[in-house]
Chain A
């Protein structure tokens, strides 16, 4: 498979020169994200995130399995990221690139190990049955900032997802279908989001939300994950640039501000979607029957 094409010398020099003059190629300030868009699908648990020209779709699915013997009271939650040639011909299925490994590791640390999802709530009968939740992250279009975009997509999709309700009678559990009972949202403890800082000029300059060209020129990156309460979930640093501890502290302040903005944005989109689904709140229950009748007239 062909390697990812490298950026030309002219572009590399120009980007560096421009950064020294405090200019970014797309005219953004150093600490500004590209325009963020978030849409939800027809089903529960599908989030489509567009960050500039980057596009990521996250999808949550659920299954019932036997829990791991050492964790009887926990459900299972896994995040799967696999790059496909859709985003770039340099991505090959079954042969992960470094970027892919870093992405899955960061998401693992940021979301799963920070206990964003209460896995105990996924338990149905201890040691016998539990829900296995799976988040598939599909990279559709790649123009940098994959980690930030994927994290937003997964967190938004988790908040949007509804799992089927269960009825437990002693040793027997019945999964109630969507038609029988309204599915219930997941129990989410906090919403971690990632902000990636790209370092240039030996750590003198750092950018928020770099695009592909800037990512190719950067010397290193620092990924900070935190929630809107300012709790840092993880910090990862890749690449050779030396980073001043004070600058890092400054980064966490910027990250907090960005995370707050993004959390607000996600919540606003969730509310909009919810309003669309239940225009009249509880009254919807009564009118649902009629709506279904209308929908089946063959076209």
Chain B
């Protein structure tokens, strides 16, 4: 991460020298959210945020932390079942958006006879299988290559907490380290499930633990707590249990 932030406004043309040069293995430049390619070779921004480039992956994107979640293929999300149609569950990723389809057979070990029964308003942890502007998003709870659930599936018990999209990305990042979770996790057991759509599901076995962890995460998000702030918060959380 560069120390100086490159602030962009919608419609800014990204100069050629600001884009990754493509020295890595991948030759084609990948444009992430917030960037638009206008042929032949102009790249402009569509949202306000910071320009982030990755030379190794030969990718560029605009990072922002506001607005509604837009599904991308591969994202892990927590979906709410809205109803069941012929072969799919209709799921909501965010309220008031068109429903996403989760096929009845997209669960580990599901067959036509042993399809899962999910009542309306239950929660499912799933992956976005496909998404795009021209079709409603499709979800899945199995890894297509192995047929295994890999931890995906219905979420039982616990509690759901809203967090910002940026916080969700932070928690899902490969080398994510949240001091709060490390410190609290060393003392009490709990399970968290993070959805890219700004939701985190916490199950601590009892009300107090669940609530303390969930609200702790929300507080880290809202107050943008750093390492030491989180340790202090973790101590408070442990004291309250």
Q: Which residue numbers of A lie inside 8 Å of B, CB to CB?
A: 2, 4-14, 17-18, 21, 23, 25-27, 89-90
Contacts and interface: CB of A to CB of B under 8 A. Distances in A.
A12 B121 CA distance: 10
B159 A6 contact: no
**A interface, by DSSP: helix, strand, loop or mixed?**
loop
A9 B121 contact: yes
B158 A23 contact: no
Interface stretch (B7-15, B41-49, B174-182, B204-212): B204-212
Contact of B201 (A10, A21, A27): A10
Contacts of B207: 14, 17-18, 21, 23
B96 interface: yes
A5 B210 contact: no
A21 B95 CA distance: 30
Contacts of B55: none
B96 A5 contact: yes
Contacts of B92: 5
A2 B80 CA distance: 15
What are the 3 closest A-B residue pairs judged by CB atoms, nearest first? Answer: A5-B95, A2-B96, A14-B159
Q: In the complex, which of the residues A5, A8, A11 has the most CB atoms of chain B within 10 Å of its own CB atom? A: A8
A10 B155 contact: yes
B239 to A, nearest CB: 14
Interface of B: 80, 92, 95-96, 119-123, 155-160, 201, 207-208, 210-211, 215
A25 B218 CA distance: 12
Contacts of A9: 119, 121-123
Given A2-B95, A17-B207, A23-B207, A8 B119 contact: no
A10 B123 CA distance: 7
A90 B158 contact: no
Contact of A7 (B119, B121, B156, B157): B121
A18 B207 CA distance: 6
Nearest to A12: B121
Contact of A10 (B96, B160, B211): B160
Given A18-B207, A21-B207, A8 B123 contact: yes
Given A2-B96, A6-B120, A14-B157, 8 more contacts: A6-B121, A8-B121, A8-B122, A10-B155, A10-B156, A10-B157, A17-B207, A23-B208
Contacts of A4: 95
Residue of A6, A14, A26, A89 most packed against chain B (CB within 10 A) = A14
Interface centre among B120, B160, B210 (most CB of A within 10 A): B160
A23 B212 CA distance: 11
A87 to B, nearest CB: 13
A202 to B, nearest CB: 20
B26 to A, nearest CB: 40
B121 A14 contact: no
A29 B122 CA distance: 29
A14 B122 CA distance: 13
A11 B120 CA distance: 13
A10 B120 CA distance: 11
8 contacts: A2-B96, A6-B120, A8-B80, A10-B158, A11-B159, A12-B121, A14-B207, A14-B210
A90 B95 CA distance: 10
B117 to A, nearest CB: 13
A267 to B, nearest CB: 32
Contact of A13 (B119, B157, B208): B157
Contact of B159 (A2, A10, A27): A10
Contacts of A12: 121
Contacts of A5: 80, 92, 95-96
B94 to A, nearest CB: 8
B189 to A, nearest CB: 18
A17 B211 CA distance: 12
Contacts of A18: 207, 211
Contacts of A11: 159-160
A90 B92 CA distance: 15
B210 to A, nearest CB: 7
